[in-house]
């Protein structure tokens, strides 16, 4: 790799100190490296009229070999969503406390850069989800997620009644605080906190995990990646509507009410992740968990 672009979390690298150190190191090795410009607005429009929230992809040179995402898992997720159309490999550099997606920790940055320069790496494709929310069969919103799509309650502290359909056929219902539909990559995120299983990120599966379900037999459901999942917001007795919110990778969201639904399936889009460490997923997991 010869040409790099750095995306950073300014809260974790406020003075751009780490980003500048990486840039200087790569330049000293005869490579090219650009640091993203600071955002002026929470949501903006790039030079070519492209909407973005975190990274203006029009500022990323066409011949970029690798995007370095500095911060944590959230930074990497944001970078993946903004740059997905470019299909540029991403490497996460963790500047926080615990990161499952950001493979490289601060002490190993120079070693990782040498691996990139020396072609000692692999590029792995990670599946993504796409979800489309509907109100009375009218599309409300459509977005993608690398980690998960979460349907959770908002407003009054009442449980949600959620009906699950697979390829149009009714499967089951949950009375719960919400539900998480995750990729294997997202299995170490919110799904794990809700009691879901850890899945090898290179697998092609979809996991459905209820959040605080009001039943004794609620468990995660593991599904093949070619299934279409429909989640319908049920109705409650009384005068109140169920008010819910579908959130994509903890970022974009849409409000849902009774009888609204969201259809989730595997996206045709993928995230390309750089893998440097030649160790198994189990070892990575053990090392991360022992940090707690």
Catalytic residues: 73
Element (H, E) at 97: none
Distance CA(264)–CA(178), nearest Å, equals: 15
Please state, in angstroms and rounded to a whole number, the distance separating the CA atoms of residues 3 and 194. 40
Angle at Cα 128 formed by Cα 86 and Cα 72, nearest 5°?
Answer: 75
> Do 273 and 89 form a contact (C-beta atoms < 8 A)?
yes
Q: Where are the alpha helices (DSSP H) in the chain?
A: 17-28, 73-83, 109-117, 190-193, 281-289
- Give yes or no for a contact between 113 and 22, defined as CB atoms under 8 angstroms apart: yes
The closest alpha carbon to 126, from 272, 276, 248, belongs to 272
CA distance between the termini of the chain: 34
DSSP 3-69: EEEEEE-TTTSTT-HHHHHHHHHHHHTT-EEEEPPPPSSSSEE-TTS-EESS--GGGS-TT--EEEE
Rounded Cα gap, residues 58 and 184, in angstroms: 30
């Amino acid at each position: 790799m010869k040409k790099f672009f750095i995306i950073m979390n300014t809260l974790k690298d406020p003075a751009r100190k780490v980003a500048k150190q990486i840039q200087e190191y790569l330049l000293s090795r005869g490579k090219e490296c650009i640091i993203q410009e600071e955002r002026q607005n929470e949501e903006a429009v790039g030079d070519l009229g492209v909407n973005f929230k975190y990274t203006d992809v029009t500022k990323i040179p066409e011949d970029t070999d690798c995007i370095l995402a500095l911060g944590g898992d959230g930074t990497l997720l944001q970078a993946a969503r903004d740059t997905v159309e470019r299909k540029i490999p991403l490497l996460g550099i963790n500047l926080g406390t615990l990161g499952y997606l950001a493979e490289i920790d601060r002490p190993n940055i120079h070693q990782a850069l040498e691996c990139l320069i020396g072609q000692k790496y692999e590029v792995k494709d990670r599946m993504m989800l796409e979800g489309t929310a509907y109100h009375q069969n009218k599309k409300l919103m459509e977005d993608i997620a690398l980690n998960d799509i979460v349907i959770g309650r908002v407003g009054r502290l009442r449980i949600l009644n959620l009906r699950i359909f697979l390829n149009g056929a009714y499967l089951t219902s949950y009375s719960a605080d919400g539900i998480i539909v995750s990729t294997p990559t997202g299995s170490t995120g919110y799904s794990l906190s809700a009691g879901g299983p850890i899945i090898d990120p290179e697998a092609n599966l979809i996991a459905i995990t209820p959040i605080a379900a009001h039943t004794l037999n609620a468990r995660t459901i593991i599904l093949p990646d070619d299934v279409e999942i429909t989640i319908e917001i049920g109705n409650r007795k009384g005068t109140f509507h169920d008010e819910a919110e579908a959130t994509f990778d903890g970022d974009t969201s849409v409000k849902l009410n009774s009888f609204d639904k969201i259809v989730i399936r595997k996206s045709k889009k993928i995230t390309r992740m750089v893998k440097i460490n030649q160790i198994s997923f189990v070892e990575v997991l053990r090392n991360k968990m022992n940090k707690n």
